[in-house]
Structure 1
Amino acid sequence: MNIFLWIVQIILGAAFVLFGSMKTFQYDKAKEGMPWVKDSSKGFVLFVGAAEILGGIGLILPYALGIAPILTPLAAIGIAIIMLAAAIFHGSRKENQAIGMNVVLVILALIVAIGRF
């Protein structure tokens, strides 16, 4: 089970750091590739990107380093909340494809949270 949790943590952590980095540091590229970014304020997009980067780091580093490992399941819960809010947001915009991905990410984040608590 530990190996499975590490695989999920690494995949989720890497994905969130990459997607969050694009929103935070490559705003114009995010604006081209994600329709919702065009309709949102730059501050909101930067906030979401920063939250995703911190969540992705929080999924891996605390548990890997053994320094405050309780932060890993808390980061997973935070990511699940972000993705649940994203699913609601995309649902209001009728972006059904994005909702499916959000639901998968919520499930994976909850698996990590439950497994690491």
Structure 2
Amino acid sequence: MDLALWIAAGLLAAVALTSGIIKTFVPREKLAEAKGGGWTEDAATGFVKSLGVLELLAVAGLILPAALDIAPVVVPVTAVCWVLLMIGAMVTHSRRGEFSLVVLNVVYLVIAAFIVWGRFGPGSFTG
């Protein structure tokens, strides 16, 4: 169980790292031209960059607390935040009719929910 939770956290951290770097460092206008990036046309640059920074923080929150054994409860809390982020992404993409991206967001949400369930439950760092 522990290995599966580490793999899930690693996969989610890789997604967050990629997405966070793109949103933080790629100009919003260029993001708007990319597949799945059309939503940025309706968002302020600061909002897009803020989402990117939050995703980069999620990378740290999914891996470092457990790896360093410093407040490992932050891992499932970060996963809860990721679930909320994915709900927002699903709403945004469904409003735009981008249902393939909604499905992708559901996959990320399920991975995060698995981490929440596992790290608050049977794969807890305290038990």
1:78 matched residue in structure 2: 81
| Alignment-mate amino acid for residue 70 of structure 2 | I
Please say if 1:30 is aligned against 2:53: no
> What letter matches 2:93 in structure 1?
H
The aligned counterpart of 1:100 is 103
TM-score calculated relative to the size of structure 1: 0.93
- RMSD over aligned CA atoms reads 1.2
For residue 10 of structure 2, what is the aligned residue in structure 1? 10
Aligned to 1:54: 57
**Structure 1 residues not aligned, in runs of 5+:** none
Deviation digits for residues 57-115 of structure 1, max 9, x if unmatched? 21111111100000000000000100011101111111111100111111100100111
Structure with greater Cα Rg: 2
Higher helix share: 1
Listed one character per residue, the Cα deviations across residues 21-77 of structure 1 (whole Å, up to 9, x for unaligned) are 110012254333212122321111111111111112211111111000000000000
Residue ranges of structure 2 left out of the alignment (5+ in a row): 121-127
Aligned length: 117
User: After the TM superposition, which parts of structure 1 deviate over 3 Å for at least 4 consecutive aligned residues?
Assistant: none
Greater relative contact order, per chain length (Cα 8 Å cut-off, separation 6+): 2
| Paired-residue identity, % | 38
